[in-house]
Each structure stands twice: as structure tokens, then as C-alpha cells.
Structure 1
Amino acid sequence: MAVWTESEGKRVHDPLYHNFLSAKTDKCIVVDEPVIIGAGPSGLAVAACLKEKGIPSLILERSHCIASLWQLKTYDRLHLHLPKKFCELPLMPYPPGFPTYPTKQQFIAYLEAYAKQYDIKPVFNQTVVSAEYEGGRWRVRTEEGTEYLCKWLVVATGENAEAVIPDIEGLEQYKGKVVHTSAYRSGDTYRGKKVLVVGSGNSGMEVCLDLCNHGAMPSIVVREAVHILPREMFGSSTFGISVWLLKYLPIQTVDRFLLIMSRLMLGDTSRFGLERPHLGPMELKSVSGKTPVLDVGTLEKIKSGDIKVFPTIKYFTKHGAEFIDGRMEEFDAVVLATGYRSNVPFWLKDTEFFSEKDGYPRRPFPNGWKGKQGLYSVGFTKRGLLGASMDATRIAHDIAQCWQAMTKQLNHPSSRPST
């Protein structure tokens, strides 16, 4: 890699350029290759696809490790919700012997092997505070005082950059322990305690099951209608069956099939306070990005009464909460399984490509990966790792075309200095 330091006025070729960049915290550095913001799975995928085409890249990562969300902000029992074949990054399958649903630790090991395979070495502890297009290049500023100038900017900070803390009346006066799932690790610390889990997505349901398995007494707040599907049907992944059916049938037909099978296998979930949305699970996912819950055993605990279901919280008290149905209950702790959001609007000075409202590309999948002036996005498809991998491949192909054209121009005899 070659970098240009404006303050020194010379180009530096150094295989240890990451150490160089870290040391030059007061420099403005012109980077010839694409700059990728975020070293999660999406950022790694783009870097690998570029490397496969012979194009280097520079990844800036705010944490001290790759995949920081997975390594630092996920609970211990987490497994991939979808089969591994739908969660591979481009160019590299999972190792032989991995289970159908890899554990958190196995997935992290896979990502570390992926980074090693493609010699991806992010610059860590670089928190981007702004990125703005100026004079034909993107100027990327970090909290640590470094500026990077680049022709191509890939936003790979993803859908889950910042934890969402809901504004619930009285939460500040509640005396018990309150944690977001990003800080929850295991139900072991809650043994024998009454715990209220706020949020009924896959994470909230799994946290409830984990609490049950560790001897806690969990309750879950179901604020809106939710689709619960069996994780597998006929010995195969429900998601995989759905993907296959969608190749041949309309989405509404596939949804009817899923709902009939769910009713046969799981029963009427509305009896337990789990109403289903009006739109079917696949159509709802397509329209809003809301993922159906793939049940891994939580529903049985709800049916048996080991997990209580409550509606929306009206307000918190000092020792518990009152709900909109009039019930009041005391709890020793609260776990907020209220999800994450994009942080792009806080640092990217672009409102044409990304929405200021939610931090997602304005154009929906599959057209939200490319903006103008060398700006790209990856990991914002609401389609998990599969969507990120598809976008990473597109981005690398698009940049490669520009890179090859630029290389030809630089190597053209007319562009060489005369002797």
C-alpha cells in the first residue's frame, strides 16, 4: 500500500503501514485504495472481495477487534439463527464439521480465519466522527485526530451500530438492575430472580430461554404482534424451505403455507398473548425488515407458564412495572432486548444516499449498495449475512472496474513524464 502524508509531502511504501497510520495521529493521509468503515462481517467481506481482485483496502474500526458486536456485545448462548449455508461470507465456506447452526464462538473463529486467509488487518481504535466529500475525495476524520482522504468510501458500520434504549415512563426511577442485551452475557447471574425482558424478537426470546435454563423467573413484554415459526420443518430449515418456495410461488402463497404449518406444529400462539401480524412472515420481512422469531424452545416455556407474557409497559415503578392491561408486578432486574440502530446519520455528511431518519440507504434492496462519488454501503439490506455478501460482491466488482481504468491511465505512455 502507498500512502501520501500531506504534512511530509512524500509517498510511503511500508508493509507495516498499519503501525505507521496509528503512529501518525496528527497527519492527513491520502489513501489510494478504498477505505472501509467497520470491521464487522460486512466490512471483512468487502475487503476480501477486493483482495481477490488484486485491490488492497484500508479498514477503519472503532473497537480493538474485528466483529466487535459479536465479540463484545452478544450473549453466551447465541447461535446463528439461520443455517450456516445462508451465513457464509464470499469466497470461504465454513470448516468441515461445523454444526448447522454455529455457536457464537464458532462464528467468531470463522471470521478470524477469514481475516487471516485474506490478510485483512484493520486499523483499530479509529472512531470515525465525520466523512464528507470534498474536492473529488472523501475526507474521513476520526476522534483520534487522523484524517484520511480517499476516492472510494465503503460504509460498513451496519444496522446494529448503536443500542436502542426505549423511552419508557418511570424507567429512571426503577431501582433494580437494567441492562441492554448488548451487556447481557448469561442468566447465571440472575438465578432465583424475577427478570422482565422488554422485546419479543429473536434476542428477547432467547434471553428468556437462557434465564429459564439458569433458574431465573423471566417475563417478556410483547409490545406488538409477532410471527413465531418453528426453526425447522420436515427436518429442514424453515428459512431454507421458504427461500426455495419463493423461487416458484408468490410470497403470499408461501406465507399461507408457513402459517398453516406453524399452526399445526406450534398451535395458536394468540392464546398465550402472542398475536400474529396481519401480513405474513415473509411479506412482513420484505416490507419492513422485521424478522420472524424462529423458535428454539421458548414457546414451550411460555405454554408451561415458566415464562410470563405481558403487554406494553404503561410505566415503571421503583420496584417493578404497571402494564396497559392494568396488571402490576415487581421485578429484580430488567433486560432491554430492544435492538440496535444505524449510526450513519451522526457522522456521514450525505443525505442523498442515506436517510437521516433511520440511517439506511434510501433505495431498498437490491439497489441500496451504491451511491454517488465513490460512496457504497454494505450490511444495510435487512437480509443478514446473505444480503451483505451479495452487496460486497457487487461493490468489489464496481470498484475493480474503476481501479482497472485508473491503472491503465496511469500506465499509458502519455501519462509518463518525458525524459
Structure 2
Amino acid sequence: MDVERADVVVIGGGQSGLASARALVRQGLKPVVLEASDRAAGSWPRYYDSLTLFSPARYSSLPGLLFHGDLDRYPHRDDVVAYLTDYAARLDADIRTGCRVRAVRRTGDSFEVETEGGDRLVARAVVAASGSFGRPHRPELPGLDTFTGTVLHAADYRDPAPFAGQRVIVVGAGNSAVQIAAELAEVARVTLATRGAVRYAQRILGRDLHFWLTRTGIDRAPLGRFLSTPPGQPVFDDGRCRAALTHGAPDRRPVFTGIDGAKVTWADGVREEVDAIVLATGYRPDLPYLACLDGALDVAGRPRHREGRSLTHPGLAFTGLEWQRSLTSNSLRGTGRDVVRTARRLAALLGRH
């Protein structure tokens, strides 16, 4: 099969990949975007049905296109899918769906990108923008592997209907954990199991927190390189989830200390039978296709980079990573800022200014 040549191959057609494509085009480059799914919206169509952004629409846009509708509303999953689909349609870039990347290899001063369909592209630069949805994090919890009930990650959760009338534990303290636990509590008896107290933040002096983060510049500050262990972010809530927890539906407890069959043991020694455990415990960068590039990833499969630039392979860039450069690097608006810097670096490397 013939080998195709491209300026830059962008792996992933979600928010980071689409923003990268726009930034690269504006630098005079011709990117080819390879998206594994059947549409250019990344992982958003596969998130749970009721997912709601924790930032208002006015703070959730990619460069070049404001979010649709009321800018003070908190968009839902389908709003984001529609927005990204529209964004992709407006781009002057070669976006190919149904193209899952199998491997990236070094060949001289270029990279060879091979898809699962057998296509091969050679490019001087590669942007890994495939996100993390494909690699859900399942922490080591006492007895979890022996649990005889249902265990699923938030990546596989869609709606509360299958859990009606059940006893459910949701593990996690982030936005998704709290949203899912509060939703499930409407049809089931639910406990939110966390390692510490849930921290909330949304409005200060009548303004959404994102207004202050933007006004002060905190969410643009280059913090990533200084944080070996990034702090956990607070839950951004309009008050409904916090009220649900306050009223005990769901209740909150420390993470269980053991499991025997379908029975869970809590820290106070109480044992009870549980039907399902939902792990809202986050994700890790999903980059198996870089395994052939020596030193690109560490032993845990995490990218070795500085502010999105590979430490070992010139021309390889990462985007959309949590704390890549700032606290919003893996958000819609944050990745939009980061990719501009990445595109400029790649343009200079390829001799385009």
C-alpha cells in the first residue's frame, strides 16, 4: 500500500485535536486529523446522558467559535457534541473518521503513522490528542476484585434506570462522581465513597468561579511543570448536588475497608450487601500507539513531556493532558490556548513561520 505524506498528523478528533488542527492551519501547515470513532466529537458522545459541564458556555469555547446559545448556561453532553460537530465542519482541514491509529514509529527525521486499516502516513510532526476516555482508571481498592455484584467505571455508565431499587456505591470525589451519585440517588439507595471530604466551588461574590479564574489569569498560569502531584480540583456545582448530599441522598462515607462476596465492610465495621459499585475515578492518558517510540512514555504509559513537548522525540507533541501547562489544560478553553503554543513550535521546527 502506498505511503501518504502529510505536514502533521493529529491523532484524535475531539476538542484537543480539532483545536490543534485549526491552530496548525493558521501556521500555514496542512494537518491530517485521524479520529477513531465515526464522528469528529471525540469521546463526548460516549459520556453519560446527563453529563453537565462545570463551566458556563462563555468559558467553554474553542478558539474561533463561541459556544452556541445562552452563554451563561451550563451545557450538557449533547450540546458539546453539537458544538464540536459544527466546529469540525467549519475547519479547513483533512479530518478522517473511523481511522484508529495502531502505531507511530520513527523513520529518519519523520514519523510513520499506521492505522488499524493498514493505511500509512509519514509526517515530520505528530500531535497526540487522543485524550484519556479509552483508558479508565481503576484504583486498587480493598476486595474490589472479589466483589460478586456489578462493577463498572463511569465510562460505561449511561443513566440510572438499570440501578432502580438497588444499593449502589459510587467511588470518587470529583464532578462526575458527585453528579452520578446524586442522579442515582433519585432511584436507588446510594453512598458516595471518598478518601476525604468533598470540596465545592462555584460562585464567589455572585460570580461563577470561572469568571474569577479568567479575570485573575490563574487558569492560564503555567503551573503544570511545578506540580509533581497536582491537587484535586473542587466540585463545581450549582447547588443541587451539594443539597442532595446534605440531605443524605446520597450519603457520604469514607471508602470501604473490605469486600466479601457481595458484602462491603465500612470503616466503622458495619457490613452490608451491595448490588453495584460505580468507579468515578478518572482516566489516564490513552497513548498505546506510542509504545514503539523509545522513551516517549514512562513505565506507567504516561507521556514524558514539558508543557506538551516531548522530551525525547522532536516533532512529537501532546495536547489535552491534565495539568499539561495549567489547571484548565484538559478543558475546552484550556486546550484551545495550549495548542496555539504547540502549533507555533511545530511550525518553527518544520520551517514554517
Range of TM-score over shorter length: 0.7 to 0.9
Residue of structure 2 aligned with 1:368, choices 304, 308, 324: 308
Q: Counterparts of 1:8-407 in structure 2 under 5 Å? A: 27-72=1-46, 74-213=47-186, 215-223=187-195, 225-226=196-197, 228-245=199-216, 288=230, 290-296=232-238, 297-344=240-287, 347-350=290-293, 352=295, 354-357=297-300, 359-363=302-306, 367-369=307-309, 372-382=313-323, 383=328, 384-402=331-349, 405=352
**For residues 232 and 293 of structure 2, what CA distance do their matches in structure 1 show?**
26
CA apart distance, 1:204: 0.6
**For residues 237 and 272 of structure 2, what CA distance do their matches in structure 1 show?**
26
CA apart distance, 1:298: 2.2
In structure 2, the partner of 1:409 is: none
Counterpart amino acid of 1:228? R
SS in 2 for 1:206: helix
CA apart distance, 1:351: 5.4
**For residues 97 and 85 of structure 1, what CA distance do their matches in structure 2 show?**
8
Change (3 A) 1:289 1:378: farther
Change (3 A) 1:299 1:405: closer
Change (3 A) 1:327 1:358: farther
Counterpart amino acid of 2:97? F
**For residues 23 and 119 of structure 2, what CA distance do their matches in structure 1 show?**
26
**For residues 20 and 257 of structure 2, what CA distance do their matches in structure 1 show?**
44
SS in 1 for 2:264: strand
Q: Which has the larger radius of gyration?
A: 1
CA apart distance, 1:108: 0.9
Q: How does the TM-score come out when normalised to structure 1? A: 0.73
Q: Deviation string for 1:275-308 (max 9, x for gaps)?
A: xxxxxxxxx9895053211234222222212212
**For residues 73 and 171 of structure 2, what CA distance do their matches in structure 1 show?**
29
Q: How big is the alpha-carbon RMSD for the aligned residues of Structure 1 and Structure 2?
A: 2.8
Change (3 A) 1:334 1:317: same
**For residues 303 and 208 of structure 2, what CA distance do their matches in structure 1 show?**
29
**For residues 98 and 387 of structure 1, what CA distance do their matches in structure 2 show?**
17
Change (3 A) 1:243 1:53: closer
In structure 2, the partner of 1:414 is: none
**For residues 195 and 381 of structure 1, what CA distance do their matches in structure 2 show?**
29
**For residues 308 and 351 of structure 2, what CA distance do their matches in structure 1 show?**
24
CA apart distance, 1:113: 0.5
CA contact (8 A) 1:345 1:359 kept: no
SS in 1 for 2:85: helix
CA apart distance, 1:386: 2.7
CA contact (8 A) 1:232 1:238 kept: yes
CA apart distance, 1:238: 1.6
Total equivalences in the alignment: 340
Name the % identity.
Answer: 27
CA contact (8 A) 1:355 1:362 kept: no
Change (3 A) 1:61 1:332: same
**For residues 92 and 126 of structure 2, what CA distance do their matches in structure 1 show?**
20
CA contact (8 A) 1:168 1:316 kept: no
CA contact (8 A) 1:49 1:392 kept: yes
Q: Deviation string for 1:149-178 (max 9, x for gaps)?
A: 111111111244411123334334433222
Q: How does the TM-score come out when normalised to structure 2? A: 0.86
CA apart distance, 1:352: 4.7
**For residues 212 and 169 of structure 1, what CA distance do their matches in structure 2 show?**
24
Change (3 A) 1:302 1:97: closer
Structure 2 residues without counterparts, runs of 5 or longer: none
CA contact (8 A) 2:303 2:310 kept: no
**For residues 381 and 338 of structure 1, what CA distance do their matches in structure 2 show?**
14
**For residues 45 and 26 of structure 2, what CA distance do their matches in structure 1 show?**
26
Structure 1 residues without counterparts, runs of 5 or longer: 1-26, 251-283, 407-419
**For residues 106 and 286 of structure 1, what CA distance do their matches in structure 2 show?**
34
